[in-house]
Each structure stands twice: as structure tokens, then as C-alpha cells.
Amino acid sequence: MRLEGQVRIPSGCAIAAVISREGRKMSGELITNAMKPMHDRSNGLGGGFAGYGIYPEYKDFYALHMFFDSRESRKECEAFLKERFEIVKSENIPTRKTPAITDEPIIWRYFVTPLKSVLESMQLDEKEFVARTVMKINTGMKNSFVFSSGKNMGTFKAVGFPEDVSEFYRLEEYEGYCWTAHGRYPTNTPGWWGGAHPFTLLDWSIVHNGEISSYDANRRFIEMFGYKCTLKTDTEVITYIMDYLIRVKGLTLDEAANVVAAPFWSTIDSMEDEEEKKKQIFLRTLFPSLLVTGPFSIVLGFSGGLMALNDRLKLRSMVVGEKDDKVFIASEEAAIRTMEPNAENVWAPAGGEAVIVHVKDGCY
Amino acid sequence: MSIEFIYPEFEVIRNESRCIACRVCERQCANEVHSYDPERGIMVADESKCVNCHRCVALCPTRALKIVKSDCALRENANWPQSTINEIYKQASSGGVLLSSMGNPNPLPVYWDKILINASQVTNPSIDPLREPMETKVCLGKKKQEIRRDENGKLVCEMTPQLELSVPIMFSAMSYGSISYNAHASLARAATELGILYNTGEGGLHEDFYVYGANTIVQVASGRFGVHKDYLEAAAAVEIKMGQGAKPGIGGHLPGAKIVGDVSRTRMIPEGTDAISPAPHHDIYSIEDLRQLVYSLKEATEYKKPVIVKVAAVHNIAAIASGIARSGADIISIDGFRGGTGAAPTRIRNNVGIPIELALASVDQRLREEGIRDNVSLVVGGSIRSSADVVKAVALGADACYIGTAALIALGCHLCRTCHSGKCNWGIATQRPDLVKRLNPDIGSKRLINLVRAWQHEIKELMGGMGINSIEALRGNRLMLRGVGLNEKELQILGISHAGE
Ligand code: SF4
Ligand code: SF4
């Protein structure tokens, strides 16, 4: 049977996220508990988490989380990394044995910074360089896989139910100001760790529930700009779209949301605010191939904030709640109530309506 | 009779018990097949002139007529079919080049028919177009540009010129001269009502049709017939015609007999002269010359109109398209080898060029590999026969489709393939006033509108089935296609998997 990446595998899912506007730290336990009432939305074939603010002592370094098939592949990849980066720390990601999680690959993390001389000779900015290096490893090195590459953030994922994945990675030992989580219900059994979510690139992480019908249109467009969709998942292509629109093209989060979940032409035509109308026409006309159709709810995490977004027909459930400095997002309200029984203002954002939360400046 | 006698291809069968000798068929047949024999009091037919256009069949009030293929055949021979033998007789007698009309009729592969479309089941919902919005609007033009902001950080929303289509279908180039005034009037009015565009072809724009300028593409071909400042300014877009699918590598020839009255004025050439457009543009011998013409036209229209470059699908089409995408053109239009024509040398029409499906797939892929797909929009034609062909073309990577033959059929064309005779009984490919008036533009435009609206409904239904609610999300979405009965190489070029994979 072909593995994920060689074939496209549709899946259903559960997602959850929590963020503190004040930048207050929460342990990984909170988000883990949120996934428990949504157990039936996953089938044990993939779970994962992303935490922001978890590596304060290494916050100026890119944290590369990696899977290797063998010691040799790690050695080979390390040699490659050393040609491009200064590695300030290299270690096993601590895990705990649990019967629910088996067949683990070698799981490693590096804290790195790009070598100035290489950057200069390639005439690339730092982020572009890191992104391209990640792409190179994930497409070119068969037995090595980068599954997290941002600063002061990290992804943790495995084949298993989310709560077991959390136990495996000892997430209760990490503290972050923002967490996202994902439980997966793929329609066959690739059993590959890299295929679990969240999917990340640089600081971007995406958890996603849905199966987008625009996938190949989006993929074939975004691959023009140096991205390689190795996993053939929606999450991966949406991450690249966001990176391209925001980092490369310089759109704001709102504008990027208007591209991927664009308002209908009929809605645009009836807009009274001329400036808004012009903007929407501009975005739809310029980026038609990045419109995402079919059901999705996503939470996009980044340094200092997150954005939640539904497809424009709202074909997947997603609710938002608040309490004090915290904002909660989940596929089901039950997950929010598990994190905060007294959550207030619980509401379901409309299709295509982006919910954007920023942490106060200086608090992350 | 002699060696060049060819037994008539069709037989006119008249049911004598129904025929009332009303002589309608006689009046309707411009080929003068039917006549009345006063002595015997019956209708007779000279079937040697019959082109099987079904005009008499359709208008006979008692349904007394039918046209059948003659069964008087030569001895069967797979290597020497009768058509080939007849062509040799004709050439041995005339010494001339054979002429044909409409698209290549030979049984070459139609890839559209070997491609199947996907639908959603379980993991992803289909969308009901009757209940949810379903968008078929597209914008054609260059998309690649820097995002700029003003001093307050607001987006500067200026764009390169775009063509807006309510549905990704346009009427392809058919010149006034090759088709009639009433056919042009029907196309122009339908395009305006539908929110799409029609194309003047290389024969200029009749002054009556300037009012439809916002829905008109004007063509600049190698003969430059009818090209002047007002012509360029009247249009929504300007198309440079480098080639045509039915006759790649050669120019056009409109016989002097069709250059009468308004046609001669519109083309800006004297009455009765043959309108011969040269094979190449004599100011374009290479890609850098094309760039100069593109920019000359942009200068002339103050950069307000997209420039389209139309080429025939030939062997090296991917590289050619890549060159055009870098020439400043906003839209590339590719015409496949099955595209129609008012007249083309038979050998060229039947043997030159490649299928549009393969050309489209390889161009779209090449432009993506080179990272320049969003420099241009891609329009394909030759031949798109149904809404399913449109959906497949878009999923392979087209931004829109040109339809020519399908539009003419909607106007009444019965594909008799004798447009070059100028005696089209349906009032389309003719300039004879008595024939032209058979095509009523009120009815013609209505039928075109019906056709495109019907296709639009079908496109929406197919999209909804795939769970796609905007045609933009279908463009280049090749996962939505599967091939049947195609070999590895064909699948590889089309960039699709085989059914069952
Ligand atoms: S040419 Fe057309 S109108 Fe004339 S006899 Fe044949 S089918 Fe009838
Ligand atoms: S346009 Fe007229 S002459 Fe040409 S194929 Fe159609 S019916 Fe025949």
C-alpha cells in the first residue's frame, strides 16, 4: 500500500486551540483535556499539538523537530544541517513509553541559526532560507522529516489518539501562551508519523478539519513558488498558502482570509463600502487559484497570535468562546467547556469570517 | 460519363405519397438539387449537388424527404477508402489543392471522451447548486503583480486589465465575410446579454456592431484587414492571430465572391478582390518581434485592454506558449487541430497540429514549472462540444474555452462542411442576401443564450457534485479527472491518473 505523500488520503478531524491575550503560560495539559470529549472524532491514526512560547531560553533559534528512520539517516541529515546552520543544541525530544504509542521513529530536535556566510552567498532572507532548507530535506532526504521549524514554538505529533500523543511527548511539562491540537480520522491507515497534524512551516502551524475540494488547484498553483507538497494533505497546502500570502506577498491576516475564504461575487457586488468592495475585487481577481473550497475549519497559529477560519459555506463545525484573557476554539463546545466550564460569549463564527486573536505586544 | 465520374455521395429520398409538390425544397436548396417537372407533375432531384445540409428535410411541410448515404460503393478496401479514391479523381481532373470546411472529421482520438469527472461521496459533501451559490465567473488577464500599499498601509488596488466572463465560455473568432452579418449580429447580441465575449475574427468590425464593443474581442491577423484606431478602441480586448487549429502554418483566403458590399468596406479592401492573409505576420519572424506587436497594440490602446495571442496547437506548443507568456501578452489562446474553419486545404486540416487536450495539459504544466502560469490566462478551443468538455478543460488548467462550431450549430448549422461554397442554406456561412435573411438574429441570439445558459447549469451541477462552489477552484484541479483506456504516456502528458487509481 502506498504511504501518505504518495497518495492523497481524505480525513475527518477534531481541532481545538487556546490562547492567552496577556501571554500567560498554560501547560500542555489544558489542551490535552480539551481533546478528550472529542475522542470519537479521531480514530487513533494521528494526533498532534503545537505550542507557542515553549522554548523561551532558545527563542532566537529555529527549533527543528525531526523524525529519522535510522541513526544513519540522522547522521547524514546532521551533516547537511551543519553546512547551513550553526547548531547550538541537539537532543532527543523527551518521550515517555506508553502502550498506546508504538513504532516510534527517532525523534530529535535541533536549535539552529543559519550561517551568515551561506545566507549571503544565496542572497536570501533568513526565513526564506530556512523554509527552503526544510523543503529540501522533506523532498530530498527519504528517511528524514522536519515536522516543526519555527522559533520559540514546537509541534508534537504521532500516530495515536491525541491524549495518548500528549502523554507520549510529556506535554504537561511544557508551558506556552498558545496551544493548538488535532485529532485525525483518516480514511485509511498509512501509519506514518509525518502525516499527523499540526502541519507547520516556520512559525506557522495549522490544524484543520475538513477535506478541501480545491486541493489540486491550490497545490499546483502554490508549487510554482518553491513549495513542495510532500504529504498531499489539505493542512500542508493551506500552510503554504498562508506563508505565501502573508510572508511572501505581504498581505495581512484578514486579507489572506479574504483570499482563501473569499466572499461570493454576489456579496461583493452588493457591498456598499466602495473601498471594501474594491479591495475584495482586487484580492479575488489576483489570487483566484488560492480560493479554498469544500469543507474546512482551520486554526492557524503564529508567533503572538492565531486565526480561526471556516470555509465560506461553513460546512464544518467550529465554535469560539472567551473567558478573561483567554480565547478558546474547538470543533465542539464540549471541548471548550472542558478547558473552561465558565466560558462566555460562546458563538459559531460565520463561514469565511476570520477570528483573529493577538497576544498583547511585549507579552510573548 | 468518364473516369472522373463520382457517384453522388447522398441520395434524396422522397416519399411520393407524402409529397404535395409545394416546391418548398426547391426554393430552400441553394444548391439547386430540387426542381419541379411540370409534365409529370412531380418533384425531381439532382442528388449530385446535394451536400446533406438537411435544409429541405427540415422545411418540408409533410416530412416527405430524407437524405441517406448512397450505398453505391466501390469495392471495399481498408487502405483505399472511397473518399481517398474520390479525392484522387478530383485532383487528377483539376490539378488543384483540395478544400474543406469545418473541423477535422477523421476518427482521431477525442481525449475528452476518455476523461471522467469526479464526485464527492461521504468524506466531503457535494453542494446543491439550487440551494447554495455556485460561481462560474472568471477574470482573464495577467495576475502576477507586486502588492503595494499607500502611506497608510492600505492596499493599492490597481490591476492589469482583466476581462470578466460570467461563465468561462467565449465565442471564437469567425470573421464577418466568412460568416454572415446576421450570424455576427446573433453572436454579438448573445455575448452582451450573457456577459461573455465574442470575437470578430480577421475581417474587421461592422460599424453596426461597435455598440457591442464591451463584449467584443477584435482580431489583428496577418492580413491586418479592417484594423484601424477606432476598431482597436471599440473592443474589450485585442487578439493577435498567429495561427488557427484547422490550418496551422498557413494564412486565410476569403474568395472575392464573398467580398461584396459591407464586407469589402469592413475589411477595407476593394470589392471582388480575394482577401489573402499571409501565412506569417510579415513583421513577426520571431518571438521578440511578437513582443513588439504586443506592446504596439498596448500603446495604441493605452494599456487599458488585455492582449491575447492566439496560436494553433502544434508539436512544440509548450515552449511556444512559454515564450508568449514572457512576451507581455495577457492571455494565450490555443486552438486544437479539430478546430473549425470556413475553408482550409484538406491535407492541412486533416494532418497538421495536435489535439487541444494534450496541448492544454502540457502548456499548463510547463508554465507552472517555469513559475509563470499567473503571467497569463489560458483559453482553449477546437473543439469544445459540451459543458463536460468545458469542465474537463478547466480542470486540466484552462481559464476559459472558445466555442465556434458549437455556437454555429446552435444557430442552425448542420455541419454539411461546405462553408467554402458560400451557399450555406442556413444563412450562416454565406453572403447571399436571400440566404442570410434565413437567419433571424432575434432567434439566433436567443438560441445562443439558451445554449450557454444550459451549459452553465450543467457546469454548476458538475461542480456541485465535486463539492466545488467556484469554478476558480476547479482550474488546474487535475485530481478531479481520471482517464479511461489511455496509455501511460497519455496519462503522463494529461497529468491525470487512470480510473481506479
Ligand atoms: S443540399 Fe441541403 S437543401 Fe439541398 S437537397 Fe441536399 S439536404 Fe436538401
Ligand atoms: S455553416 Fe452552413 S455551410 Fe457551413 S457547415 Fe454549417 S450549415 Fe454547412
Residue B311 is part of a domain; what is its CATH number?
3.20.20.70
> Which of B370, B472, B496, B501 is the mutation pick for testing A, counting most A CBs within 10 A?
B472
Report the distance separating Cα A219 and Cα A5, nearest Å: 13
Same domain, B372 and B239: yes
In the three-class reduction of DSSP (H, G, I as helix; E, B as strand; rest coil), residue B403 is classed as: strand
Nearest CA in chain A to B155: A279
Tell me the C-alpha to C-alpha distance, in Å, between residue A27 and each of A20, A173, A174, A176, B157: 12, 7, 6, 6, 44
Name the residue facing B125 among A11, A220, A295 (closest C-beta).
A295
Residue B45, burial from CB neighbour count under 10 angstroms (0-12, 13-18, 19+): buried
How confident is the model over A303-307, as a mean pLDDT? 95
Report the distance separating Cα B147 and Cα B330, nearest Å: 18
Interchain contact A351–B (C-beta under 8 A): no
Is residue B417 within 6 Å of ligand 2 at its C-beta? yes
- Core vs surface per residue B46-62: b (16+ CB within 10 A) or e: ebebbbbbbbbbeebee
Report the distance separating Cα B228 and Cα B297, nearest Å: 11
> Which of B148, B469, B471, B482 is the mutation pick for testing A, counting most A CBs within 10 A?
B469
- Within-domain flag for B181: yes
The answer to whether the CB atoms of A213 and B162 lie below 8 A apart is no
Contacts of residue A255 in chain B, CB cutoff 8 Å? 155
Atom 6 in ligand 1: which residue has the minimum CA distance? B50
Question: Omega of the bond prior to B383 within 30 degrees of 0, cis?
Answer: yes
Per residue in A260-280, pLDDT tens? Answer: 999 999 999 999 999 999 999
Q: What is the domain range of residue B350?
A: 133-144+165-474
Residues lining ligand 1, Cβ inside 6 A: B 12, 28-29, 31, 33, 50-57, 67, 425
The answer to whether the CB atoms of A214 and B147 lie below 8 A apart is no
Per residue in B173-225, pLDDT tens? Answer: 999 999 999 999 999 999 999 999 999 999 899 999 999 999 999 999 998 99
Is residue B426 within 6 Å of ligand 2 at its C-beta? yes
Return the higher-pLDDT residue of A7 and B389: B389
Choice among A78-92, A187-201, B291-305 with the minimum mean pLDDT: A187-201
CB B381 within 8 A of CB B286: no
Rounded to the nearest angstrom, the minimum Cα separation between A223 and chain B is 8
Q: How far is the CA of B20 from the centre of ligand 1 (A)?
A: 18
Q: What is the pLDDT of residue A9?
A: 58
Question: Omega of the bond prior to B248 within 30 degrees of 0, cis?
Answer: no
How confident is the model over A38-55, as a mean pLDDT? 86
Same domain, B83 and B172: no
Residue B147, C-beta contacts closer than 8 angstroms, at least 6 positions apart? A249, A250, A251, B155
Per residue in A352-363, pLDDT tens? Answer: 999 999 999 988
Q: How far is the CA of B413 from the centre of ligand 1 (A)?
A: 13
The answer to whether the CB atoms of A10 and B133 lie below 8 A apart is no
Report the distance separating Cα B184 and Cα B195, nearest Å: 16
Q: What is the pLDDT of residue A2?
A: 56
- pTM of the shown model: 0.93
Domain boundaries, chain A: 14-203+297-358
Choice among A13, A77, A178, A229 that is catalytic: A13
Query: What is the CA B26 to chain-centroid distance, rounded?
Result: 31
Per residue in B107-127, pLDDT tens? Answer: 999 999 999 999 988 877 888
Same domain, B262 and B393: yes
pLDDT at B250 over 70: yes
Q: Which residues of B touch A (CB under 8 A)?
A: 120, 123-125, 127, 132-133, 135, 137-139, 143, 145, 147, 149, 154-155, 157, 159, 162, 368, 371-374, 397, 466-470, 472-480
A13 is catalytic: yes
Q: How does residue A40 score in pLDDT terms, banded at 50, 70 and 90?
A: confident
Rounded to the nearest angstrom, the minimum Cα separation between A142 and chain B is 23
CB B446 within 8 A of CB A188: no
Report the distance separating Cα B41 and Cα B27, nearest Å: 17
Same domain, B92 and B195: no
How confident is the model over A81-88, as a mean pLDDT? 95
Ligand 2 nearest-atom number relative to CA B415 = 5
Contacts of residue B479 in chain A, CB cutoff 8 Å? 8, 215-216
How confident is the model over A91-113, as a mean pLDDT? 93
pLDDT at A82 over 90: yes
Name the residue facing B123 among A187, A249, A282 (closest C-beta).
A187
Handedness of CA A227, A233, A237, A243 (dihedral sign): negative
Is residue B429 within 6 Å of ligand 2 at its C-beta? yes
The answer to whether the CB atoms of B124 and A295 lie below 8 A apart is yes
- Core vs surface per residue B220-257: b (16+ CB within 10 A) or e: bbbbbbbbeeebbbbbbbbbbbbbbbbbbebbbbbbee
Q: How far is the CA of B416 from the centre of ligand 2 (A)?
A: 5
- Probe ligand 2: pick from B50, B102, B436, max atoms within 8 Å of CB? B102
Give the residues across from A67 on adjacent strands.
Answer: A107, A145
- Within-domain flag for B224: yes
Tell me the C-alpha to C-alpha distance, in Å, between residue A318 and each of A211, A299, B35, B109, B235: 15, 10, 77, 48, 48
Q: What is the pLDDT of residue B288?
A: 86
Interchain contact A295–B (C-beta under 8 A): yes
Q: What is the pLDDT of residue B470?
A: 96
Same domain, B288 and B217: yes
- Within-domain flag for B407: yes
Q: Which three cell numbers stand for residue B59?
A: 422545411
As a whole number, the mean pLDDT across chain B is 95
Q: How far is the CA of B342 from the centre of ligand 1 (A)?
A: 19
Nearest CA in chain A to B144: A286
Q: How does residue A8 score in pLDDT terms, banded at 50, 70 and 90?
A: low
Number of domains making up chain B: 2
B160: nearest Cα among B331, B313, B42 = B331
Residue B244, C-beta contacts closer than 8 angstroms, at least 6 positions apart? B173, B252, B310, B312, B335, B339, B341
- Within-domain flag for B86: yes
Q: What is the pLDDT of residue B341?
A: 93
Same domain, B69 and B137: no
Tell me the C-alpha to C-alpha distance, in Å, between residue A14 and each of A131, A307, A350, B319: 28, 16, 18, 46
Interchain contact A285–B (C-beta under 8 A): yes
Q: What is the pLDDT of residue B425?
A: 97
Interchain contact A255–B (C-beta under 8 A): yes
Tell me the C-alpha to C-alpha distance, in Å, between residue B36 and each of B28, B42, B67: 13, 6, 18
Instruction: Give percent of chain B above pLDDT 70.
Output: 100
Q: What is the pLDDT of residue B272?
A: 87
Q: What is the pLDDT of residue B441?
A: 98
Q: What is the pLDDT of residue A188?
A: 53
CB A205 within 8 A of CB A180: yes
Per residue in A212-248, pLDDT tens? Answer: 899 999 999 999 998 988 877 888 899 999 999 999 9
Per residue in A144-186, pLDDT tens? Answer: 999 999 999 999 999 889 999 999 999 999 999 999 999 877 6
Same domain, B182 and B35: no
Same domain, B242 and B381: yes
Q: How far is the CA of A266 from the centre of ligand 1 (A)?
A: 49
- Within-domain flag for B486: no
Tell me the C-alpha to C-alpha distance, in Å, between residue B40 and each of B21, B43, B44, B61, B65: 11, 9, 10, 21, 19
- Within-domain flag for B481: no
Q: How does residue B500 score in pLDDT terms, banded at 50, 70 and 90?
A: very high
Is residue B102 within 6 Å of ligand 2 at its C-beta? yes
Q: How far is the CA of A17 from the centre of ligand 2 (A)?
A: 65
Atom 7 in ligand 2: which residue has the minimum CA distance? B413
Rounded to the nearest angstrom, the minimum Cα separation between B478 and chain A is 6
Ligand 2 nearest-atom number relative to CA B51 = 8
Residue A224, C-beta contacts closer than 8 angstroms, at least 6 positions apart? B368, B371, B372, B373, B374
B8: nearest Cα among B33, B44, B35, B43 = B33
Report the distance separating Cα B217 and Cα B184, nearest Å: 13
- Within-domain flag for B317: yes
The answer to whether the CB atoms of A250 and B147 lie below 8 A apart is yes
- Say which CATH architecture domain A14-203+297-358 belongs to: 4-Layer Sandwich (3.60)
- Within-domain flag for B192: yes
Q: ipTM of this predicted complex?
A: 0.91
Report the distance separating Cα A289 and Cα A210, nearest Å: 19
pLDDT at B498 over 60: yes
Q: How far is the CA of B49 from the centre of ligand 1 (A)?
A: 8
